[in-house]
Homo-oligomer: A and B are copies of this chain.
Amino acid sequence: MQFNGLLEKILNGDRRAISRALSEVENSTSTGEGILEGISNLIGHSYRIGVTGPPGSGKSTLTNQLTKLLVEKGFRVAIVAVDPTSPFTGGALLGDRVRMSEVGTNQKVFIRSMASRGSLGGLSQKASDAGDVFDAAQFDYTIFETVGVGQSELDVAKAVDTTIVVLVPESGDSIQAMKAGLMEIGDIFVVNKSDRVGADQAVTALQVILSMRDHDETTWLPPIVKTIASENKGIDLLFDQISNHKSFLNEKKLFEVRRLDRLKNKIKDLVVSNLRKEFWNAERKLILESKIQNVLEGKVSPAKVVQELIDDFKSSVIY
């Protein structure tokens, strides 16, 4: 497959080409970098939605139902399942992905799981890059579904247009969500499994917590939507709120602000990863290995070794 041919096929929505592009991007190959470079002026079509929340809140089911609704409305939908899974557990083999089979066989839907492989903060950037591929391939919506409530979730939230935080009525769930920093990133809150006891109390608790957020008439006050995703209830209301938020971003010209922020973060991340790659050549790896025992024995401090390595890096820059 020629590289230029590959780009063209991505733009035409060729599934095999998209799949290959996603692999190249995820593995940070030079082809992947070329693809991102090639599509960088072709993005802006896709609306990006983040779905996050604590484990067991039903994020996958909700994503599933929302996807079905979007497809019914004639949209093409991509799903990026951000999964901090280890190689040991065999990636996203188990669990929720199975439920996706219902929408996964639809030609208007493309599902991609991404595992973290222990990269520091790199996962959210790669998810965002995958979003660029789907964007170039003219998907109307890209949904980023994250597992867990850690730093990568907060990072993913920065890379989308609308963040949906999914909670369940169980007492303490909203407190846990607060602790995980989810209350601040949510544009829409979903109380899923809302047929359970305590749903209304959970909504009230959320309202109280959200009213603590600084807001005036120019800021978005996050709505709270009750759903029972497993019974496909409330998904239409959720879609309405997504549309409301989209209109709000449009009216307030916040789309461009968010996209500018996204681009700045992307460039900053690229700077770090490029510098890191250049920095850790064989020679400096050797310097580190030769010094580390002395650091362990307290004969030289970490900061001294860092300075020595940086000096070596600078002296190697011939300009």
Chain A interface residues (CB < 8 Å from chain B): 33, 36-37, 40-43, 54-56, 83-86, 88-89, 92, 94-95, 116, 118, 120-121, 123, 147-155, 172, 175-176, 178-181, 183-184, 212-213, 256, 259-260, 263-264, 266-268, 270-272, 274-276, 279-280, 288, 292-293, 295-299, 301-303, 305-306, 309-310, 314-315, 317, 319
- Across the interface, do B267 and A276 meet the contact criterion of CB distance under 8 Å? no
Return chain B residues, CB-CB under 8 Å to A40: 295, 298, 301-303
Return chain B residues, CB-CB under 8 Å to A95: 175-176, 179
Say what secondary structure dominates the interface of chain A: helix
Q: Which residue of B lies closest to A305 (CB)?
A: B267
Return chain B residues, CB-CB under 8 Å to A120: 120-121, 151, 155
Contact of A298 among B41, B83, B303 (CB under 8 A): B41
- Across the interface, do B309 and A184 meet the contact criterion of CB distance under 8 Å? no
- Across the interface, do B305 and A41 meet the contact criterion of CB distance under 8 Å? no
Return chain B residues, CB-CB under 8 Å to A33: 303
Distance, CA A36 to CA B274, complexed state (A): 28
Distance, CA A291 to CA B213, complexed state (A): 33
Kindly list 18 other residue pairs between chains A and B, CB separation below 8 angstroms, not including A85-B179, A89-B183, A267-B305: A36-B302, A41-B297, A42-B298, A54-B55, A85-B180, A88-B212, A94-B179, A95-B175, A116-B181, A147-B179, A148-B148, A260-B296, A264-B288, A267-B295, A268-B280, A271-B306, A272-B275, A317-B319
